[in-house]
Every structure is written in structure tokens, then in C-alpha cells.
Structure 1
């Protein structure tokens, strides 16, 4: 048990601790504000995350000790996730704060303890994006498995929202999905973006290539970005790792460069030099699109999902169709535009860590009556 004097005793819940992406950036802010504290999760793969998260006391489910449960096989344990999250027993505290994009919100809080959930999305692979997982390695088998458990999982997922007293959504797009899937209202608190770290540089010129950044997973549609670059004859740099990396780079097209996972200083340099960031997926929010704008980099985004809330007409270009031809045409148009870095930066500052921290502290204090 870890507690902090002069702070509300908030314990944290997170789906799984297997890398630092958008959800873990949110968790990091929680750990900075209310940590070190107890952190409950399905699994931890043993790698360091952030100093604030690593300082917490981890409590893991039995899935941690199952073959591949904390590694590459964890997605295949989907039918067992409800039982695993319910095996975690939360200690007495002032408030349970779950950070959920899968099952973390289904944690059982101690009797009388309020539960606040920050929701990145109801499990997208179960509710609305199952078909997106058909692409890439083992896609057909993956989708068949998802469809087999979908109905039972949805029923459980909807039922366990009763364990949550209040839900915060990371965008209006996700608030609407929460209402459709769970029949619950959610208040929007946009996630934190490190605008202090990601900054423009007036001495750096933009170059004639495009950038895509993110986990190489099926729904991110990096395959579409690559096809668009090839069709339009554009150079593309791909940043990130994931289950689709091997299949995507097996026969890399000319002009497409795979950089893998890179440190933030290298990513900052890419954001400052790229002609534009490609954002071809329907995203819950889209932290990388804000990071790019924070560095003055325009965004070519699919006109769906969270992108509609974070990209403006003076900071990027919306693409109506999720096709390679549509994105290839947008990339060609981008070679002629003159979007201003200052507009991108100004827009990004709406999503700073400081804005997020204050909003979350207000929510927590309101729930526990301080």
C-alpha cells in the first residue's frame, strides 16, 4: 500500500502495462498527480514505462503468469479478460480512477468508494471496428475469434458499467460511442499532449516527404498510407512498431522507409521537417496529430472520429474517403499548400498537459467532496 500525505488517496487501474502510447501518457499524468500509489492491471511485460508509473506499486492479475499473457499472446486471451480483471481486489481508498480502453473500467471498487473512469473507448475490436482487424498477419483468424466472443463480451461490458459512478471521454466522438454502446453519458476531457516538449523550430525547413506515426496495428491503416504514397509517387517515413510491422516491411516499396520505434528527440526532428503527417485511421482522439501540429506540422486526416475535433481547416486537410486514391490526391494537393506553423501550434496548445491536469483534479475533487 502506498499513500501520499495531503493528497486524496487515489488508486489507479489500467488495462495492461506493455508500452508507452497514448493511454499510458494519460496514466503517467495520473501517476504524477496522485502517485506514487497502487496501480492495478492485467499484466506488465517488465519493461520500464515512465518514472511516475514505475514508482507505483503494481498489482497484477493471474494472467501475468499464463504463457505469453504479458507478451505477444495477450490478445488471444480475450475471452478470459473479464474473469481476470474481476480477480483484482482493490484496497480501501478515497477514489478508484480507471484508465480504460478495454476492461479496466470493469474493476470492482470497494464498497462505498467512488469510481471515476477515464475512457479512451469501449473496446473497439468488440463494438465497432472488428472488421478493421482483418488486415495484416493472421487477420482472418483474429476476426473469426472476435466474432465468436463478441455478443457475450458486449453483454458483460455493458453490464459492468454499473460499477462506474462517472465516465469521462477523451473526445466528443468517444462520448457518442459510449452512449451507443453503454447507454451512459460521458463528459469530455481531452487527453494530455506534451506541447512543451514538441515545439516548432523556425530555423528548420520542411522537406518533401510525408510522415506516419503510431502503433502498427490493423485499425491504424498504415497499409493505406503506404499504398497512397506509392500511388502518388511520394516519399513516406513510417514510425512505430506493432503486430503488423513484419508483414508491412516484408517487401518495402521504393520511397517508403520504416524507422521502427524511435526516441522523442528523433520524432521531434521528423515532425519539424515533414511536409505533413498522414492520419488515415478513424481514431478515438489522435495524440500524434496534436504532437505534429504542436511542432508546426500540418495533418492530412480522415474526416472521421477524433480528428474532426483536433484538426482545423487552417492546420490541415480532411479526406472524405478512406481509400489510397483519396489520400494520394490529398498528398499531391499538400505539395501546393501554405499552411502556417503558427496556426498549427496555437491549435495544439488547447490540449496541453497543464489543461488536462487541472481538469482531472477538478473532477476528482468534485467526486470526493474536497
Structure 2
């Protein structure tokens, strides 16, 4: 009997999908089960099983599918597998029929208990009238399933505390995998950009504060602009998303120049990070991959003092954490962070590598 890897749904890209990829690399003969798979080429050489939801229009509407997910996860038989390893940020850790759960080893790696159920203040999907009305039902079910013998790991101490507060369960902290070896394989990523990307780089000021992410509200990229104003430095915002118009309005009213780089390739993003004076990361994140990438590339960071990102900054001694991104606090943080010696951070970054994740995963599951 082999093992089974379980994931909510497989998207074309995403941090949780990168964790599943690392799990797959760690256990290369395991089957994979998900609600639906929208990235067939990613695991083309593996057995990937989809749920019945994959054959319905609900696969295109997560909000509409959500009420059915616990029931669907509860129909999955685990009897033919020696163990089950789950990557969960919603209900995937519910996987298994009652009988098969009772006789199975289930390990669940938790990106977060569902934010829009447990911490709707951090996720607008949980702020609607309907969501607030049904959340107590899902909370009760979620807490019950979490108490049924699953062994938990959390992607940060921040999420470990959330697991304890929501499910009343303990968890082992295993930081998610970051492609440290790839990041540090090039001395200068600017040497690898295309001609068009090189023109983008040359159009930017020689010194700037960088913010990068999807342009969505909870990423708080307007606070990167505020940080630039506090330090009187130009700002570069890299990414794309529905908040672009709002951010351009913020930029237009800013007292410092703000430049946009839309949908950069990985190569261009890494070059932008290397050229930045500092990488500013305002959101309250479960962990935060980008600050680790920045520190691994030798760029200091300023992150939110609330959330998981502060843990990597502390571990690598790679920057500062602030409670507000305007006024004297951010100005002082930027002043002390810009120009920071990053030798320690770049040399210790391997603690967040894919290899470290794999080793920690195996140790946790064999304990």
C-alpha cells in the first residue's frame, strides 16, 4: 500500500500548489486526490483523481461549491492507502469516510483554517450577510472533523496559534518550501531578462522601494506607496489584479513617483527585487513567500508585525517589522533596514528550501 496526497483543488499556479508539488516530489509514487484539477500538465505523470464536483459547473464557482465540499470529502475512501497527506486551506482535512478515517493515518499540512469562516476580517469573502449566517455551522463541523485523530502541521507559528484557537488542536510548524537554490543560482537576474524587460528595468529610478503581489485589497499595496512617501523614495509596484485602478489613483496622488510593472515574469521579478533598496510587504499573511525570496536574493525587507512573515525575517535577520506603514515608525524602519548587511540572511536562507521542507515533512510523519 502506498500513500495518498490530497489537495483542495489544483490551480495553474499558487503557493499551496507549490506545496503540493514539493509533497509530490517527496513522495513520487503517491496518488493525488483533489476536488478538481485545472492544471493537468503539472502532474501529468501521476495518478490524479478528481471528485464528482469536477463533472459539474460548480468547479468554476468555488463559493457555490463550498456548501457541498464537506459532504464530498466525506465520501472518499482511504482504506487502500497506508497513509494520507493533506494540503488544506479550506476543508480538505475532512477527507475520508467515517470508517476509513478511524483506521487511517491522516497527516494534514494546514496553510490556514479557512479564513472566510474563522477570520472573516482578513477575507472579504466571509463578510457577506450569507457568509456570516452560515459560518457558525461550518465552524462547528470544521472543529468536529479536526478532533477526529488527524495529525496537524502548520506553515508558521502564526497559523499554529490559529489552529489552537479555532480547532483546539496542536500542530508542528513546518515552513513551506521556497526555491532557494534556484533564486541563488544567478548572481544577477538582470542579465537574463529579455530585451523588452531590460528596457523596463532601465526606465526605473536607480533607487526605489519595491512592493510585489497580486493587486488585491488584502495585500495592502497602498501601504508600500505610503512607505515610499515616509522615506521620500520612489516606489515600484509589480503585479496585476482587480485593484490596479485603485492603486493607480493612489499613485497619482502620491508625493513620490510610483512606477507599475505589470505581470512580471519570474526572471524580471527577481531582477526587480535585486535592484530594490528594500522590499516592503504589508499584508497579514499566513507565512509569506516573497519576503523569503527577497532576503535570499540579498534584499532587506520590512513586513507587517502581525502574521507569519515576521517569523522568517526574525530567523534570517533580514529586515524589520512594523505595526503601521506610515509616519515615523515606517520611516525609522526603512532608515535602519536600507543598506543592511544581508550576508547572514542569504547564507541561512536554505532553512526555507525545498530540501529542508521535504526533510521536515518526513521527520514529522515518521515521529
TM-score band by shorter chain is 0.7 to 0.9
Structure 1 residues 262 and 17: CA distance shift in structure 2, 3 A? farther
Q: How many residues align?
A: 345
1:227, distance to aligned residue in structure 2 (A): 4.8
The aligned residue for residue 294 of structure 1 is 296
Deviates more, 1:86-95 or 1:245-254: 245-254
Q: CA RMSD in A?
A: 3.0
Report the Cα distance in structure 2 between the residues aligned to 1:327 and 1:59, rounded to whole angstroms: 50
Candidates 9, 13, 23, aligned match of 1:20 = 13
1:283, distance to aligned residue in structure 2 (A): 1.4
Structure 2 unaligned blocks of 5 or more: 191-204
Answer yes or no: is the 8 Å Cα contact 2:152–2:172 preserved in 1.
Answer: yes
Deviates more, 1:293-302 or 1:264-273: 264-273
Report the Cα distance in structure 2 between the residues aligned to 1:17 and 1:208, rounded to whole angstroms: 39
The aligned residue for residue 183 of structure 1 is 168
Report the Cα distance in structure 1 between the residues aligned to 2:67 and 2:229, rounded to whole angstroms: 39
Structure 1 residues 278 and 104: CA distance shift in structure 2, 3 A? same
Q: Higher helix fraction: Structure 1 or Structure 2? A: 2
Answer yes or no: is the 8 Å Cα contact 2:277–2:339 preserved in 1.
Answer: no
1:130-179 deviation per Cα after TM superposition (whole angstroms, max 9, x unaligned): 12334xxxx7x953333122111111110111344311111111111111
TM-score where L is the length of structure 2: 0.82
Answer yes or no: is the 8 Å Cα contact 1:61–1:87 preserved in 2.
Answer: no
The answer as to 2:133 corresponding to 1:143 is no
1:111-131 deviation per Cα after TM superposition (whole angstroms, max 9, x unaligned): 522000111111122112x12
Answer yes or no: is the 8 Å Cα contact 1:105–1:164 preserved in 2.
Answer: no
The aligned residue for residue 340 of structure 2 is 339
Report the Cα distance in structure 2 between the residues aligned to 1:32 and 1:249, rounded to whole angstroms: 38
1:209, distance to aligned residue in structure 2 (A): 1.6
The aligned residue for residue 11 of structure 1 is 4
The answer as to 2:132 corresponding to 1:169 is no
1:176-219 deviation per Cα after TM superposition (whole angstroms, max 9, x unaligned): 11111101111111111111011286668994122223344433
The aligned residue for residue 4 of structure 1 is none
Answer yes or no: is the 8 Å Cα contact 2:2–2:29 preserved in 1.
Answer: no
Candidates 309, 312, 319, aligned match of 2:311 = 309
Report the Cα distance in structure 2 between the residues aligned to 1:125 and 1:348, rounded to whole angstroms: 32
Structure 1 residues 100 and 252: CA distance shift in structure 2, 3 A? same
Candidates 17, 30, 47, aligned match of 2:23 = 30
Deviates more, 1:56-65 or 1:9-18: 56-65
Answer yes or no: is the 8 Å Cα contact 2:159–2:286 preserved in 1.
Answer: yes
Instruction: Trace 1:188-337 onto structure 2 (pairs within 5 A).
Output: 188-199=173-184, 207-229=206-228, 234-242=233-241, 244-245=242-243, 247-248=245-246, 251=249, 253-254=251-252, 255-312=257-314, 314-321=317-324, 323-325=325-327, 329=331, 333=335, 337=338
The answer as to 2:75 corresponding to 1:75 is no
